Structure 1
Amino acid sequence: MSERLQLNQKVIDEFRAAAGIVGGDFQGVPLLLTTTGARTGTPRTMPVTYLADGDRLIVFAANGGRPNRPGWYHNLLAAPTATVEVGTETYQADATVVEGSERDRLWARQLPHTPYFEDFETRSGRPIPVIALTRIA
């Protein structure tokens, strides 16, 4: 397991052991997102930063400013239903890529909380995709 995957697993374990509360880079803004692997069909869980927007949770496919988009983003494009764990709650959600002025509005709302995201766009040379997660009733 790579160092990055080991770090993610530590965050996942901490999240689940402490009812959704974690420290470090994810303190105050973590959720666990479980997608279905686009090639494998295997469930994949990742900690991600989110922004609450009404009834939706907004996530950002920043991938730490790397030039490629994160695997979970590609998985959501292939199968847009995911499992979300936030706090002590777990539910299914539909994922939709947000574009245009709505994307820009949500991106601007997130930057004060995670100012390093702005550098991610510069370093990656790509706009960071913004995805809305809407609870399935």
Structure 2
Amino acid sequence: MTSFNAQIIQEFRGNGGHVETAGFGDKLVLLRTIGARTGEERVTPTMALRDEDSWLVYASKAGAPDNPAWYYNLVENPDITIETPQGDVEVTASELHGDERDAAWDQVVAVASGFADYQVKAGDRVIPVFRLTPR
């Protein structure tokens, strides 16, 4: 885990889910995924937007040409726990496609315009979006 992620996780847990670093505020969740190759639990902070009773998360990796490791973890093991500002929630992740994915992408760009830059940097990679639905 990078020191930046460790700092964000510590701040998230120490402030009831509120993270001032990088201006995240209350728009983060901690994904507790199971490693697709290792089977070990991984904790990753990620931008999340509420969408009715679910959360939308974006596998941007800051516009890298490849998907973040947690993307593969969710594909392989979609039943996970997330830490939210309101507490832990057991969810099932489903990847969005087509118009549903595009609408969810537009939501994050409206809130955090830097995500539009991530898509440009990512080139041909369409940044995946997942819906996390409580189980």
Give 1:127 shift. Answer: 1.1
Alignment of 1:1-137 (within 5 A): 5-25=2-22, 26-125=24-123, 126-136=125-135
Unaligned runs of 5+ in 1: none
User: Do the aligned partners of 2:27 and 2:47 also contact (CA within 8 Å) in 1?
Assistant: yes
d(CA) in 2 for partners of 1:127 and 1:28?
A: 26
d(CA) in 2 for partners of 1:124 and 1:110?
A: 16
CA distances 1:5-59 after superposition (whole Å, capped 9, x unpaired): 1110110011111111111222231111110000100000011001111111000
Look up the SS of the partner of 2:121 in the other structure: helix
Q: TM-score by structure 1 length?
A: 0.93
Aligned length: 133
CA distances 1:79-129 after superposition (whole Å, capped 9, x unpaired): 111111110310211000011111111111111211011111111111110
User: Do the aligned partners of 2:96 and 2:130 also contact (CA within 8 Å) in 1?
Assistant: yes
Unaligned runs of 5+ in 2: none
d(CA) in 2 for partners of 1:63 and 1:76?
A: 15
RMSD of Structure 2 on Structure 1 (CA)? 1.0
d(CA) in 1 for partners of 2:86 and 2:97?
A: 30
d(CA) in 2 for partners of 1:91 and 1:115?
A: 28
- The runs of 4+ residues in structure 1 deviating greater than 3 Å are none
d(CA) in 1 for partners of 2:83 and 2:36?
A: 20
